[in-house]
A = this chain, B = another copy of it.
């Protein structure tokens, strides 16, 4: 069998792999580039809950081959089973050899399966990202009347809300004391939980699932909780996170990081020469604690993909921001929720001394305008010097973009003081009023907590602040 040689070879065709390829083509136009993808059709991962719930068809939710082929990148449908860093080549299931100068792992992630009795029964599903698995899940859900969903992260919550829209009876079970624990403090989660419960979903927080109940045909008939309570259902969906898909990388001998991802440096370089990793399969470092974190987000993945692409041949572009901020948004019912950086809960756990403030405003002005939503912003800043390290927002759809302003504030290590003179655009039909823009108001509130009365002398202030 002949060997096909590419300058840049990307293993994996999800968002991270596809963006690595197109960005690499843009930066290194003369290079030959290929993406090798196992599945003919790849799904846009973040929209999968809306496909499963029936709002979208799988066909509407593909990452189309044209995304890379239009730029002259080859898209090869094949599965890589071996990598040889010394020979600089990879071998596929059907024995084809592909040579490379630069190799990029973008092998994504796989759903976690908890070590629990009954997980291999019929009608037990995880949320995989390939079309076939999604179609199978959709079909089974169509027939089910009552569904238990285990896991109250983004996927669990989004899928639960989509199913309840289509008239299913849903029990949503989470181990954590509140939903979306990774992104939201109790009070924001509570707002979402109220909507979830109002929709008819039976939400159980702080609740451990002990095992999946099965009948004699090995079909799931429900779950049993730690408390002994049994909840019967026609299907069980396990939405308890994902883990990096690193079987191939491990086999090839790449160093694996603490949370199971391929170890990478700031420029997405692995420990093997000319080998990079991006997206869910790559290790991520928290922007503040510097710990390895298990964050998996398509938007983070594409940022990594662009960094890798520009850095394949030399480090010319210097990264401006170091580490991963967790930056999320979602919709629960008719309300949007978003978060960036650390939560107050995480700050306490990590022993970061913080001051917080929450401002409640409106997203149009005056509030008597049609379709005005309550808009709530919480900021989390260091007590030491008021650097903003996290924030949470709930409101109408516009907060999906507002969180990106907050993300940029965190990436730029801005302080609450620096927001006092912030120049923003406001408009009656689009935003909060200029007199009460929630991000600025919350920053001011922290400013006051930190620095108190500006007319006092430093000695007087010190005394007061020490008493805070």
Residues of A within 8 A of B (CB): 15, 18-19, 23, 26-31, 44, 46-47, 50, 55-56, 60-61, 63, 67, 297-304, 306-307, 310, 313-314, 316-317, 319-321, 324-325, 327-331, 336, 338-340, 365-366, 368-369, 397-405, 407-409, 411-412, 414, 417-418, 420-431, 433-435, 437, 440, 444, 448, 451, 453-455
Return A311 CB to nearest CB of chain B, in Å: 9
Q: Give bound CA distance, A31 to B426, whole Å.
A: 30
Q: Are A420 and B310 CB-contacts (below 8 A) given A27-B453, A61-B366, A399-B401?
A: yes
Return A405 CB to nearest CB of chain B, in Å: 5
CB–CB A435/B18 < 8 A: yes
Q: Give bound CA distance, A408 to B368, whole Å.
A: 29
Which of B299, B431, B434 makes the CB contact (< 8 A) with A302? B434
One complex includes copies of this chain to the number of 2
Return A134 CB to nearest CB of chain B, in Å: 14
A340 neighbours in B (Cβ, 8 Å): 425
A418 neighbours in B (Cβ, 8 Å): 320-321
Return A38 CB to nearest CB of chain B, in Å: 19
CB–CB B434/A15 < 8 A: yes
Identify 25 residue pairs between A and B in the complex whose beta-carbon atoms are under 8 Å apart, listed by A's number: A15-B434, A18-B435, A30-B453, A30-B455, A31-B455, A50-B429, A56-B366, A56-B368, A60-B366, A298-B434, A299-B426, A303-B421, A303-B422, A306-B421, A310-B454, A313-B455, A314-B454, A329-B425, A330-B427, A339-B425, A397-B398, A398-B401, A401-B405, A401-B430, A404-B405
CB–CB B434/A301 < 8 A: yes
Return A440 CB to nearest CB of chain B, in Å: 8
CB–CB B421/A307 < 8 A: yes
A306 neighbours in B (Cβ, 8 Å): 420-421, 440, 444
Q: Give bound CA distance, A400 to B401, whole Å.
A: 8
Whose C-beta in chain B lies nearest to the C-beta of A62? Answer: B366
CB–CB A427/B329 < 8 A: yes
Q: Give bound CA distance, A398 to B321, whole Å.
A: 26
Whose C-beta in chain B lies nearest to the C-beta of A45? Answer: B434
CB–CB B408/A422 < 8 A: yes
Return A342 CB to nearest CB of chain B, in Å: 14
CB–CB A338/B425 < 8 A: yes
CB–CB B331/A429 < 8 A: yes
Whose C-beta in chain B lies nearest to the C-beta of A301? Answer: B434
CB–CB B407/A302 < 8 A: no
Which of B26, B321, B324, B448 makes the CB contact (< 8 A) with A26? B448
CB–CB B453/A425 < 8 A: no
A18 neighbours in B (Cβ, 8 Å): 435
Which of B329, B423, B454 makes the CB contact (< 8 A) with A324? B423
CB–CB B405/A453 < 8 A: no
Return A320 CB to nearest CB of chain B, in Å: 4
Q: Give bound CA distance, A15 to B428, whole Å.
A: 14
CB–CB B307/A430 < 8 A: no
Top-5 shortest CB links A-B: A400-B430, A401-B401, A299-B434, A320-B418, A27-B454
A324 neighbours in B (Cβ, 8 Å): 423
Q: Give bound CA distance, A424 to B297, whole Å.
A: 10
Whose C-beta in chain B lies nearest to the C-beta of A67? Answer: B435
Return A174 CB to nearest CB of chain B, in Å: 20
A23 neighbours in B (Cβ, 8 Å): 444
Q: Give bound CA distance, A303 to B336, whole Å.
A: 27
Which of B46, B67, B409, B428 makes the CB contact (< 8 A) with A426? B46
Return A18 CB to nearest CB of chain B, in Å: 7
Return A272 CB to nearest CB of chain B, in Å: 21
Return A436 CB to nearest CB of chain B, in Å: 9
CB–CB A426/B314 < 8 A: no
